[in-house]
Amino acid sequence: MKTAVVTGGAGEIGQALARSFADDGYSVHVVDLSPTATEVARRVGGIAHIVDLSDPDAVAELSDIPSIDVLVNGVGVWPLTSFDDLTPQLWKTYVDINLNSSYFATWACREALRAASGAVVNIASAIAFKGHAEMVFYAAAKAGVIGMTKALAFAFGPDGVRINAVAPGLISTERNEGVWSDERKAAFRDSRALPVDLAISDVVSTVRYLASSDARIITGQTLVIDGGTVMH
């Protein structure tokens, strides 16, 4: 049986990814600080890890997994914060969550990924390419995820492990509905080449593609899924 590890597995996208992998017969490890991860794991017949992914000592628990075919680094928080309110302590906290967590998880899982010649898919953000005045820490951290993805592709390539990233735009989720006003959501939509709303399923299908054998020669890449706002 193949094994998938989904960090940020208690979130809306993480839950959908866990369900997708489980439906295809994977043993799924759902990793999150939220106790909701236990319920998600129960629903998909997986294993829950209640772990603070910004704490490398806590994340070390994942090194006990012997073989990992897919690691999805999906942790992310982005409360809208003006630069004047972005204190050095908040900066450090948010960078730990949005960037360092992906490094910590990959480090902990490195031997299990090598054992399976597995694949890592990091969740970045289109904000890393275009910036946002109230998401300075998020743009910086997710740009770091993209740079790390490129470097790790070289580091893991000799072991047959592929490292890629996806960079979503504004996805239609319950959480996002509560953050953005209708006017701002409309502005996001109007900026797209395709006049569409972005769904969780768009992220899931892209992650599943990059993690699959269909993408066997793709590594070090970041695929933007935002309906055509960011072109790169």
Say if CB 165 and CB 119 are below 8 A apart.
no
Say if CB 164 and CB 123 are below 8 A apart.
no
Residue among 82, 75, 77, 4 nearest 45 (CA):
4
Among 26, 103, 138, 209, the one annotated catalytic: 138
Site of tokens 């993480």:
14
Look at residue 122 and give its three-state secondary structure.
strand
Residue 94 a catalytic site member: no
DSSP string over 37-57? HHHHHHHHT-EEEE--TT-HH
Tokens at 95, concatenated: 């960078």
Residues classed as catalytic: 138
